[in-house]
Structure 1
C-alpha cells in the first residue's frame, strides 16, 4: 500500500495550542466597559429633568480610575459632544439620540434615550484617538465633579 502524498505546506493545518484556563477566563489585556443605567427624573413641572448613571470599568491606563460611577444629564452629554467635536477634528463624533419634546418623561422615551446615550458613550470612549487625545473624555466619564463650564 502506498503512503498518501504529503500535502503542500499551505494546505497543512497549523499546530493549535490549547489555551489555559487563565487565558480563556482571565482579564483581557485591555478592557473598557461603559454602561449607562438607572435613569432618575427630578424636579416638578417645567423644571423636570432626567439624569443617568455612567458606570465605567477599565484597565486602560489613560483612565485614572479602574472603576467609577457618575451621573449626567442629557444636556451634559450635549455639551460633552460639542467639546469633543472642537477638540478632535480628526475624529467624526457620532450623534446623540434626538431631542424629545412630547412625552419625554415616559418610560419608553427614557429607555430609548438611555440606550442611545450608552451606544454613543461606548463608541467615543472606545475610540483609540479619543482615548489618547481627548482631555475631556476621561473627566466626563469618571469625575463626579465634572462641570461643563470648565470646558467651554
Structure 2
C-alpha cells in the first residue's frame, strides 16, 4: 500500500499559491480579509486542473479541523500560522507573513496522497461554497455532488506575478481605515457568506492581468 501511494506522489504535480489579499466589509465597523487560492495540477486526484477561489483565515482553521478529524493515519497535521489578536488590515508585513504561512500549510497538505481523497479539501480548494455548504456537500446532503460543486466553483487560473513583484506590492503602505479589533471578531465567523464586490476593497493590488482588471472571483451559484 505504501509503495502505491509513494508512486502516485512521484507522478503528480500540485502547485498552490495564496495571494491577492482583499478586505471584505460586513458593514462600516466590521471587516475581514480573505485571500485568493490558486491551484495548478496534473494530478489524477483532481478533476479540475486549474482553479482560483477566495478563502478567509477562519476557513483555513475549519479545513485543518476537518482533515484532522477525517484522517486516522496521521498523528499531526501541519500547523497554520498563529492567530494574532493584534492582526491589522493595514500591516503589509503581517499580511505577507500570514499568506506565506497559509501557503506553506497547503503545500504540506497537498504532498500527502492520503489527504487528497478528502472531499472537504477539494471543496475548500476548488469551490466557493461556505463552510456550512461544504460540510453539507461532503456529507451528501446537497442536490449537487462534490464533483459538480468543484466544476462550477473556481475561476480559471490567471498568470502569476513574481515573488519580487509580490513583495514590492506588499511593502506599499495601506491607506485604509479599518478597525483591526473588529476584524479579529469577524475573523472567527464560519457561516454562509455572500461577498458584495462593491464592498470589497483591496489594500494590496498584487496581481493584475491588465491594468484596472477586477480580480475578485465570483461565488459559485449552487
- TM-score by structure 2 length? 0.52
1:73 to 43, 46, 56: 56
Larger RCO, structures 1/2 (Cα 8 Å, 6+ apart): 2
Question: 2:95: which partner in 1?
Answer: 110
Does the CA contact (< 8 Å) of 1:125 and 1:137 recur in 2? no
> Aligned runs of 1:3-152 on 2, under 5 Å?
29-43=11-25, 46-91=29-74, 92-105=76-89, 106-132=91-117, 134-144=118-128, 146-150=129-133, 151=135
The number of residue pairs the alignment matches comes to 123
Give the whole-Å Cα distance in 2 for the aligned partners of 1:118 and 1:88. 21
Give the whole-Å Cα distance in 1 for the aligned partners of 2:63 and 2:30. 22
Moved segments of 4+, more than 2 Å? none
Give the whole-Å Cα distance in 2 for the aligned partners of 1:139 and 1:61. 16
Does the CA contact (< 8 Å) of 1:36 and 1:117 recur in 2? yes
Does the CA contact (< 8 Å) of 1:54 and 1:69 recur in 2? yes
SS in 1 for 2:21: strand
Unaligned runs of 5+ in 1: 1-27
Unaligned runs of 5+ in 2: 1-9, 137-222
Give the whole-Å Cα distance in 2 for the aligned partners of 1:128 and 1:138. 13
Identify the range of structure 1 (123-132 vs 74-83) with the bigger mean alpha-carbon deviation: 123-132
Structure 1's 123 and 46: CA in aligned 2 closer, same or farther, altered over 3 A? farther
SS in 2 for 1:100: coil
Q: CA RMSD in A?
A: 1.8
Tell me which protein shows more strand as a share of its residues. 1
- TM-score by structure 1 length? 0.74
Shift of 1:45: 5.8
Give the whole-Å Cα distance in 1 for the aligned partners of 2:11 and 2:70. 28
Which protein shows a greater Rg? 1
